[in-house]
Structure 1
Amino acid sequence: MWRSLPRRAATASPTRGRAGTATTGRTAAGDAGPRPPREPPPRRSGDARRDVGRPGDYPRTVTSDPTPLALPTTDWEAWLGSRCDDQLERARGLVAELRTGGRDSAATLAMWNDVGLALANAFSVAELIANVHPDEAVRSRAERAEQDAHRLKTEIGLDRALFEALAAIDPEPLDDDARRVLSLSLRDFRRAGVDQDDDVRARIRELSQRQTEVAQQFSKNIRDDVRTVHLEPARLAGLPEDFLAGHQPGEDGLVAITTEYPDYVPFMTFGEDRAARAELLQQFRNRAWPANDALLTELLELRREQATLLGYDGWPSYDAEVKMIGKGSAIPEFIDKISEAAQEPARRDMAVLLERVRQDHPEVEVADSTDGTFYSEVLRRENFDVDAQQVRTYFDFAKVRRGLLEVTGRLFGVEYVEVDEPAWHEDVTTYDVVVAGTGERLGRIHLDLHPRAGKYGHAACFDLVPGIAGRQLPEGTLVCNFSRSLMEHDHVVTLFHEFGHLVHLVLAGRHSWARFSGIATEWDFVEAPSQMLEEWAWDADVLQTFATDAAGTPIPRELVERMRAADEFGKGVHVRTQMFYAALSYWFHQLVPDDLTATLRELQERYDLYGYVPGTHFHTSFGHLEGYGSGYYTYMWSLVIAKDMFSAFDPDDLFDAEVAQRYRHRVLGAGGSKDAADLVADFLGRPYGFDAFQAWLNRS
């Protein structure tokens, strides 16, 4: 799963870390038809060895049009258990066969590929359903299935006989893809601890199981802890009419405002009552407190012990080894580099914001998070003539959803055909993704976009089925919490961002190797395609195709230009806040401090220009600490690459077919078949650089 925070405010194979978003919150979850066109690795003429080792060499059923996964209409608990248990049992059976040896290289790797696919199938369904099903009993069953999958994954990673069977493969007869799968698999076995002594491997099993349990509870506490403030109606001054209409006073005469995004974001953006904003902020930043403080401490300690047992100086070094950044010590260097680059624009914008706060509140010496969103909106309205309440009248949810599908369909050469199939909730809409003009089915997507009790509370892309050429259609789910009526433009941008993960998952779901399927690149690259797709939500020509008011009038071009100018304000502050999140993610894992709140405060004072809000415990609801671990820096690392990739597009023609198709096939469709740096170089014709990001940051 790939997860994202608001913009400003288990494994897919036994050889690959969990993919999500997460998504986000955390980002992680396990990740048909013919492979999309892409330039193959160089081949030597007449070298028959290059054709050896493809998964097709192992007997299996292959079809030109695999069917989507059939979801149940009733008894989800039984279906979920059967789906996950069957896939895990298949993985166990294949492992038992592999341990006996006696097969050629191609057959051994093909069976190993099927182990990864079975694990991915179990992980994907379990994590999605644990986060979206309305029935708590079903969610609990999904959590148990995910624990079972993690246990099996750990056992596989520590299985010496299995490792020896793969290590015995001669790489010489293999083609380039098979060699890559083999190399990465052997690396991951060693990182799992397969070569450690019996006592260490036993302890790693215990650590892995407990990490899964703690992480699940950490996320569950965030998901379930929805807090409420009760306010007199007069304290809702400034809120939009449609918001007020949906928030009528109760029997006690008070209006309930929750910490869920459809309440929290509009209130912090438009609510004129500073004390009411502070009250809501206090509740928002104390979600899952105090329970998650102890859980997070335990999770950090478990990760540190695992890393040190395997010979690393801490979790960041262990985790960064398989990312683009390469080593843990490079993370704080990157954080400080970005922080320094953002310092001048951040301080400049912060001075403007504080001056405006003091016009209303002369007693304020330092603006804090109570003021940030609200007064940024005030300044956009006063200095840039951008009124978010006016802007949102152009973004009716139904029109935005339709526009998103039209824009991405045109960009990537696909169409979305709505299908009437069962799902876990009536809010879910399902579409087949087909090739424009031919109708060839590429995959299936599910859009679950509105809040409800027990549902994952942020925005994320979850796998449902990992795509394998000729065997399984890729299926993914967008899980968000948007208004059913009018949307803030910021939420429109978030929707485009998350949909970027979804199309990545589908377009990369046509590989034969499970290792390469879907969002299978290094974690510090996965946000780049989604961050780049945000640009289409800022283009006037694009927006005018679907952003219309109640009378059908498209959003004025001049308004979009002012919105873009207004969005430039505060980006330095935003970047510094992101670096606070990244520093928190890194230093919590590197130091494992006794007092998490004290370290939170110290880091926030150093990096975040808004500073610490007394009495709050942000870390207990910062779900990315569970999924991204020490790697939250990846959002900004990806943004550096996203800005550079976007420079290849003509700003006057964002739908240029040659560039769009080159990007689709060389970056998205390639999945994990190459290192991310090579994918970007294939697309740009050169290595990625820092210049485009620096130019964006310095632009005023």
Structure 2
Amino acid sequence: MRVKSPPQSPPDFAIPPAQLLVETEALIEASRALEDRLANSLTPATATFDNLLRPILHDDHRASRRLCIFRIFSSVAATPELRDASRKVEQLNAKASAVSLMRRDVAALVAAVYDKHRAGELSLDDESAYVLFKTHRAYQNAGAGINDEEQRAKYMAAVEERNSVLVAARKTFSESDEGVWFTRAQLAGVPASALDTMAADGDRLKVTFKKGHLFPVMKHAADARTRKALHVAKENRFPENVAVLERAVALRDEIARMLGFANHAALKMENKMAPSVESVTGRLNKLRTELQPQAQKEIETLRALKKAYIDEHGSSEDEDDVSTLNAWDWGFYARILEKERYSVDSTLVSEYFEVQHSLQGMLRIFEELFGIVFVPTEAPTWHSDVTVYAAWDSEEQGGGFLGYLYLDLYARDGKYSGAHCSLVQPGFTTEENTRHFPSSSLVCSMIRVAGKPTLLQHSELKTMFHELGHAIHKLVTRTAYSHSCARDFVEIPSILLENWIWVPRVLQRLGRHYSYLGDEQRAFWLERAGGEEPAETPSETLPEKLAEDLAQTKHVSGAHAMLHQVFLALFDLTIHSAASQEAARAIDTTALWNKSKAEILGLRTTNGIGQASFAHPFRAYDASSKVYATDLWVSSFKSNPMDPEVGLKYRRSVLEPGGGQPEGVSLKNFLGREPNDEAYYSEVSGL
């Protein structure tokens, strides 16, 4: 593809903390002034989509261009001052949004336009009709219908307190630098590539809770006491968040009831494809019932492996633990199962997935599948670690500009320790009828050490592919207005994409042994090999047999993995589905967490406060289902995953409409039928 200049300059991130607050307040005031003008100049009889909704939507676009940037600073900014200012922006904007959606005058005008459209008095295109429906629903579900002034004040106080406690909780996730110190002897068995990334204090090494430390220790540490200590520490992080979560649950319940809903879960269901709380609960319980027999077989398999291992190597555990499969045993014995049954050495596998090489392979796969081209470009960023790509349609797809992709891969102080995708700027049609192109980001926390390669476990490869899928979804969505997607849809496209990293030929494209990636990497490999060129050197590309063996492990522990998601989803749903406000205030999240986990997963564990570090309830996340993603995979991609014709059809039918039409319609348009759960059960049971 010939090099072209993007039609839109990338955004600037050189913004002082004080400016974030000044600009945010100015944007809020501009929106308030617009609403005042509309309320004073229009009546229900004169209000139309063009003179009411369109100005509101364009104002939202203008604000979002800046506010999205301001918000991402809370998880990626280099200074605590900028991160704190970003969180203040979030609180200011959340309060302003709540006040705006409570305006009875504007809500009455929106309702009038909505009624006119339903009566056939207004002719709107499909996307405009859908955004009108969602805007009307947003006003009705956010306090505009509360008429009593005392009740309105109580509602606003609850909303403001809820926002405040959630922002405080999220800060602990982003800025925590916790870990557990172990001696090198206690970490026997853990790969050197992981040990090299740990802070040292004499003979002791600090194991953090980042995946680059947590996974290798839980999968490789031979001493069960080490794994148990790390597991217990992980399950008891952030004790202050227990009270925060329970207060947030009570406030959410109080807010939902003031809006006329049975509970918070019923309120959130308004923004989902699923029709009701009962339907979601039913689907989750069906999964639980269907998967439990298979999960029990998985437990028995690993229990037998544990017995054989202890018979051969002896036990580092208390005698009572020898015949019991503990939560901290799972990763260790699942790895042994993969090695013994499928000949998969996870340490060797990771040597083929150096982060930068694998990332380039991922981008090439998305290019081929969806007709995209990624071009490295110079652009301002929020940190020197960040790289930027300009995304374009391929020449065959018209060669048009799509937007900017930001990649922030490495851990650093103050940065959120998980992996996620953030919208940097939204895409939409401007008032001048031109395109404002989106920007999105992939943010990870890979642990990097100077002079040494950053190697990915296969599970980290999956996470990166998943989150990159979110970022690319935001780039290819093409709607006139900036929409959010239904919460039970938003994860489906990325869960679908996880399937590609189980395809042998895709794994081979992503994998290249790190010793072939440059002189520095070669020297490091030689040092690891003893300083001299060994007689047998590794294959440059991921060996075909290793790729095929790795693919065979796709559904190993599959029932257990899905039941873990069911456990999290049911916990989230249960705490937000109280029968009364009193019940919501009385929820003991610790007791529920431990009881549900034991019942659903069937493993021996120690009681803890794992809910305090379960970020999803603090981030307004609601569990989504892997079921529909499996339906898409099996019915359309499994037989030929790299078929560009199917990939382009999926892009046009599902990704491009985004939240601009009901997401169930998008899935049906692609499948040619309603999605169902048959493919999921056939996949999992076909082990």
Q: Which residue of 2 aligns with 1:250?
A: 201
Q: Is residue 2:33 matched to residue 1:93?
A: yes
Q: Which residue of 2 aligns with 1:215?
A: 166
- Supply the distance in 2 between the matched residues of 1:207 and 1:246 (Cα, whole angstroms): 44
**DSSP-derived class of the 1:523 partner:** coil
What is the one-letter code of the residue matched to 2:665?
A: D
- Supply the distance in 1 between the matched residues of 2:546 and 2:212 (Cα, whole angstroms): 24
**TM-score, normalising length: structure 1:** 0.86
Query: Is the 1:604–1:612 contact (alpha carbons within 8 Å) kept by the matching residues of 2?
Result: no
- Residues 113 and 376 of structure 1: CA distance in aligned 2, closer, same or farther (over 3 Å): same
Q: Which residue of 1 aligns with 2:105?
A: 161
- Residues 247 and 293 of structure 1: CA distance in aligned 2, closer, same or farther (over 3 Å): closer
**DSSP-derived class of the 2:404 partner:** strand
Query: Is the 2:376–2:389 contact (alpha carbons within 8 Å) kept by the matching residues of 1?
Result: yes
Mapping of residues 28-107 of structure 1, within 5 Å? 65-72=7-14, 75-102=15-42, 104-107=48-51
Query: Is the 1:428–1:449 contact (alpha carbons within 8 Å) kept by the matching residues of 2?
Result: yes
- Residues 109 and 370 of structure 1: CA distance in aligned 2, closer, same or farther (over 3 Å): same
- State the shift of 1:687 in Å: 0.9
- Supply the distance in 1 between the matched residues of 2:603 and 2:643 (Cα, whole angstroms): 41
Mapping of residues 393-542 of structure 1, within 5 Å? 393-437=351-395, 439-469=399-429, 470-484=434-448, 485-508=454-477, 510-515=478-483, 520-542=484-506
Deviates more, 1:529-538 or 1:167-176: 167-176
CA offsets, 1:191-229, max 9 Å, x none? 112111222222221111111111111111223333222
Counterpart pick for 1:173 among 105, 117, 122? 122
What is the one-letter code of the residue matched to 1:620?
A: A
Q: Is residue 2:59 matched to residue 1:115?
A: yes
- Residues 542 and 481 of structure 1: CA distance in aligned 2, closer, same or farther (over 3 Å): same
The one of the two structures with greater contact order (alpha-carbon pairs below 8 A, sep at least 6) is: 1
- Residues 70 and 542 of structure 1: CA distance in aligned 2, closer, same or farther (over 3 Å): same
Query: Is the 1:227–1:284 contact (alpha carbons within 8 Å) kept by the matching residues of 2?
Result: no
What is the one-letter code of the residue matched to 2:413?
A: A
Q: Which residue of 2 aligns with 1:375?
A: 333
Q: Which residue of 2 aligns with 1:617?
A: 609
Unmatched 5+ residue regions in structure 2? 1-5, 449-453, 517-538, 579-583
Q: Is residue 2:299 matched to residue 1:350?
A: yes
- State the shift of 1:652 in Å: 4.8
Counterpart pick for 1:238 among 189, 192, 198? 189
Q: Is residue 2:267 matched to residue 1:318?
A: yes
**DSSP-derived class of the 2:165 partner:** helix
- Residues 514 and 248 of structure 1: CA distance in aligned 2, closer, same or farther (over 3 Å): closer
Deviates more, 1:398-407 or 1:94-103: 94-103
Counterpart pick for 2:217 among 267, 276, 279? 267
Query: Is the 2:194–2:212 contact (alpha carbons within 8 Å) kept by the matching residues of 1?
Result: no
- Residues 390 and 292 of structure 1: CA distance in aligned 2, closer, same or farther (over 3 Å): same
Query: Is the 1:268–1:373 contact (alpha carbons within 8 Å) kept by the matching residues of 2?
Result: yes
Query: Is the 1:317–1:329 contact (alpha carbons within 8 Å) kept by the matching residues of 2?
Result: no
**DSSP-derived class of the 1:445 partner:** strand
Counterpart pick for 1:228 among 179, 184, 190? 179
- Residues 178 and 567 of structure 1: CA distance in aligned 2, closer, same or farther (over 3 Å): closer
**DSSP-derived class of the 1:220 partner:** helix
What is the one-letter code of the residue matched to 1:204?
A: Y
- State the shift of 1:599 in Å: 1.4
- State the shift of 1:403 in Å: 0.7
- Residues 67 and 173 of structure 1: CA distance in aligned 2, closer, same or farther (over 3 Å): farther
- Supply the distance in 2 between the matched residues of 1:158 and 1:603 (Cα, whole angstroms): 38
- State the shift of 1:153 in Å: 0.5
Q: Which residue of 2 aligns with 1:186?
A: 136
CA offsets, 1:309-347, max 9 Å, x none? 122221111111321122222332222111011112111
- State the shift of 1:248 in Å: 6.6
Query: Is the 1:155–1:205 contact (alpha carbons within 8 Å) kept by the matching residues of 2?
Result: yes
Query: Is the 1:308–1:314 contact (alpha carbons within 8 Å) kept by the matching residues of 2?
Result: yes
Q: Which residue of 1 aligns with 2:530?
A: none
Q: Is residue 2:72 matched to residue 1:151?
A: no
Q: Which residue of 2 aligns with 1:299?
A: 248
Query: Is the 2:504–2:551 contact (alpha carbons within 8 Å) kept by the matching residues of 1?
Result: no
- Supply the distance in 1 between the matched residues of 2:575 and 2:662 (Cα, whole angstroms): 28
Counterpart pick for 1:562 among 549, 561, 570? 549
What is the one-letter code of the residue matched to 1:202?
A: A
- Residues 383 and 104 of structure 1: CA distance in aligned 2, closer, same or farther (over 3 Å): closer
What is the one-letter code of the residue matched to 2:499?
A: E
- State the shift of 1:649 in Å: 3.1
Q: Which residue of 2 aligns with 1:203?
A: 154
Between the two proteins, the alignment pairs up a number of residues equal to 623
- State the shift of 1:435 in Å: 1.4
**TM-score, normalising length: structure 2:** 0.87
- Residues 302 and 243 of structure 1: CA distance in aligned 2, closer, same or farther (over 3 Å): same
What is the one-letter code of the residue matched to 2:479?
A: H
Mapping of residues 545-556 of structure 1, within 5 Å? 545-549=509-513, 550-551=515-516, 553-556=540-543
- Supply the distance in 2 between the matched residues of 1:105 and 1:222 (Cα, whole angstroms): 42
Query: Is the 1:397–1:487 contact (alpha carbons within 8 Å) kept by the matching residues of 2?
Result: yes
Deviates more, 1:451-460 or 1:101-110: 101-110
What is the one-letter code of the residue matched to 1:575?
A: M
Q: Which residue of 1 aligns with 2:629?
A: 642
- State the shift of 1:121 in Å: 3.4
Query: Is the 1:397–1:486 contact (alpha carbons within 8 Å) kept by the matching residues of 2?
Result: yes
**DSSP-derived class of the 1:686 partner:** coil
Q: Is residue 2:507 matched to residue 1:543?
A: yes
Q: Give the greater-gyration-radius structure (CA).
A: 2
- State the shift of 1:160 in Å: 0.7
**DSSP-derived class of the 1:548 partner:** coil
- Supply the distance in 2 between the matched residues of 1:277 and 1:174 (Cα, whole angstroms): 63
Q: Which residue of 2 aligns with 1:128?
A: 72
User: Among the aligned pairs, what percent are the same residue?
Assistant: 25
